[in-house]
Structure 1
Amino acid sequence: MKNTILGMHHITAIAGDAKRNFDFYSNVLGLRFIKKTVNFDDPGTYHFYFGDEVGSAGTILTFFPWGAGIPQGRRGSGMATEIGYSVPKGSLEKWVERFEKYNVIYNKPSERFGQRYLTFLDPDGLKLEFYEVENDTRKPWETDEVKADIATRGFHNVTITLNNIKGTAGVLTDIFGYTLIGQDGNRYRYAVDTVDQAALVDLVELKDEKLGHVANGTVHHVAFRVIDDESLMYLREKVVAAGLNITPQIDRNYFHSLYFREPGGVLFEIATDNPGFMIDEALEDLGKGLKLPAKYENIREDIEAHLAPLN
């Protein structure tokens, strides 16, 4: 596990209304709200984290809800366009019933790489997919309405759309240790063998697809997991050696990160397991309080007055 990519760490997307985003992911999808903080570069904006009980890497979906006035984004080339979750085998019909109840836009179940999946949109137009996975042993987070028989287990895959996959595929295989394991038309599936789950990246090649626009309802970046800081800096050297520009290490309180744009234009992050989400809240209290980085504590009252209430 040392000095290797361990699948996905988290995915970050952009939303509009904060309360609508909170309600959809915590109530409709039944994810645990594990952290309420702010964008470290823009403290006037929330940063929400949703995941499993403890915020395990490979389950964490985060959002910058920038408010109702934000322009709508556009899925297209040079961006992550679909987020795939793992759900239990036989659960898609129950999810269809739930989506009908909550007026969620969805397509009828289909099949890809031998797995049934269900595509749907969140209230901001972010595209998600539920894949039926038979042997996902990750412990689900349960709510009063979303029980273990349908609850998500964490990420299954992420889809990246590109005009040409060559440069991105090179980063996945030569730097991150992924291997091409399948092709379905213009969709190429890559996997790492270091973990059993959250291990898949699909590259879709659409030569004439227009560039996407990152704004409301789109993915901001995809973060890949490493076990610790030593592994993080080892991967940094590999990215530099490949001739790509990458940031210094950045402290995100709950993990340490590096950022770079891969040749296709997608913002990639590499993030550590340490120190984790219980550094400032007990397990039972995750997501309950507004947690700020130390540099913003002196303006907490101003920040709290600006942020929209969730209750």
Structure 2
Amino acid sequence: MSLTLKGLHHVSAITAKAPENFRFYTEVLGLRLIKKTVNQDDISVYHLFYGDEVGNPGTELTFFELPNAGRNRDGNNSISALSLRVPDDKSLDYWKQRFSSLSVEHDEIVSRGGRLTLAFRDHEGQRFILVSDEHNEGVAAGRPWAKSPVPQEYGITGLGPAHLTVEASEHTALVLEKVLGFSRKSTYPSLTPGQPDVIVFETGEGGSGAEVHLEERTDLPGQRLGRGGVHHVAFRVDNEEELKQWVEHIRSAQLPNSGFVDRFYFRSLYFREPNGILFELATDGPGFATDEPLAHLGESLALPPFLESKRAQIEAHLKPLDTRQ
């Protein structure tokens, strides 16, 4: 297959309370809010985008606000953990101390697939893994925001490997390799005794910004998605013309899909792999400066043109993100 994905584009998760989410990801993790908008499929709730200083593809962590969502029940057939890249091993020591001082639940620093990592959970139980880029080669990292409360030399630089946990790994592996063009890079031992090795897949230039880690677990129930869970993972497509080729490719693979979707800030295609995990393919552009200057990203409610006529209605139902103002 001549089509090649460039790496991770963004990941989208679920929060029950946007103001608390905003405080954690900007004040604790030091990410920049790069777009404050609404869920285009439910305009009564926020869709928040965090990222590096300009919201580069591959640095975007997004959240749908679902106020009545129950807590996520961790389990199989899920995006079971998200990774965030940091510059080096020394950064992990900084973050471990920061998490301890701020009472953020975290584990010890351990090696996964040849990289040092630090697992933690956010205030809603969302599972994350900080990944050191000390020896990383491949997809370039982003640049942390200069106005972040976290020093730039330790700041989060983008998305690391997406961790998938499934009951039957061969089905997901088939889609990754034969449909999406990923290649098997390596394996490493599961941190759960008695379980199969985790399989590392990579695409594009490779490296921590272009990997999927696939773990087979036979001892878990199925996930029940809720707050603190991950809705989907998106992979990078260079441009709109290439995305249209992907639409035809996914259709020819007989995978049920959304077809071409215009999200204004990027163009998308959605489909589920055989274990039910939702994948998205998304273009690198147009980008988040389409309707706001770079210096003021995320400061005001941004709406795509097709929702602008409903601005008054939308704003009347949204609560302020920073409730202390």
Number of residue pairs matched by the alignment:
309
Q: Of residues 179, 200, 216 in structure 2, which corresponds to 1:205?
A: 216
CA distance in 2, matches of 1:154, 1:72: 26
Shift in Å, 1:197: 4.7
Give 1:62's aligned amino acid: T
- 2:170 matched to 1:166? yes
CA distance in 1, matches of 2:121, 2:245: 37
SS of 1:55's equivalent? coil
Counterpart of 1:74 in structure 2 is: 73
Shift in Å, 1:227: 0.5
Shift in Å, 1:193: 3.6
* Conserved 8 A contact 1:75-1:212: yes
* Conserved 8 A contact 1:58-1:197: no
Counterpart of 2:18 in structure 1 is: 18
CA distance in 2, matches of 1:230, 1:4: 13
CA distance in 1, matches of 2:205, 2:130: 23
CA distance in 2, matches of 1:130, 1:253: 30
Shift in Å, 1:123: 0.9
Shift in Å, 1:141: 2.3
Change (3 A) 1:191 1:304: same
Counterpart of 2:192 in structure 1 is: none
CA distance in 1, matches of 2:164, 2:11: 12
Change (3 A) 1:234 1:144: closer
Counterpart of 1:86 in structure 2 is: 85
* Conserved 8 A contact 2:84-2:156: yes
CA distance in 2, matches of 1:193, 1:257: 18
**Structure 1 stretch 51-60 or stretch 292-301: which is displaced more?**
292-301
**Structure 1 stretch 34-43 or stretch 289-298: which is displaced more?**
289-298
Shift in Å, 1:79: 1.1
Give 2:150's aligned amino acid: V
Shift in Å, 1:160: 0.4
**Structure 1 stretch 55-64 or stretch 167-176: which is displaced more?**
167-176
Counterpart of 1:146 in structure 2 is: 150
Counterpart of 1:302 in structure 2 is: 313
CA distance in 2, matches of 1:34, 1:81: 25
Which 5+ residue runs of structure 2 have no aligned equivalent? 190-195
Which 5+ residue runs of structure 1 have no aligned equivalent? none
Shift in Å, 1:297: 2.1
State the identity %: 39
Q: State how 1:12-161 maps to structure 2 within 5 Å.
A: 12-67=12-67, 69-89=68-88, 90-135=90-135, 138=141, 139-161=143-165
Shift in Å, 1:182: 1.1
Give 1:109's aligned amino acid: I
RMSD: 1.5
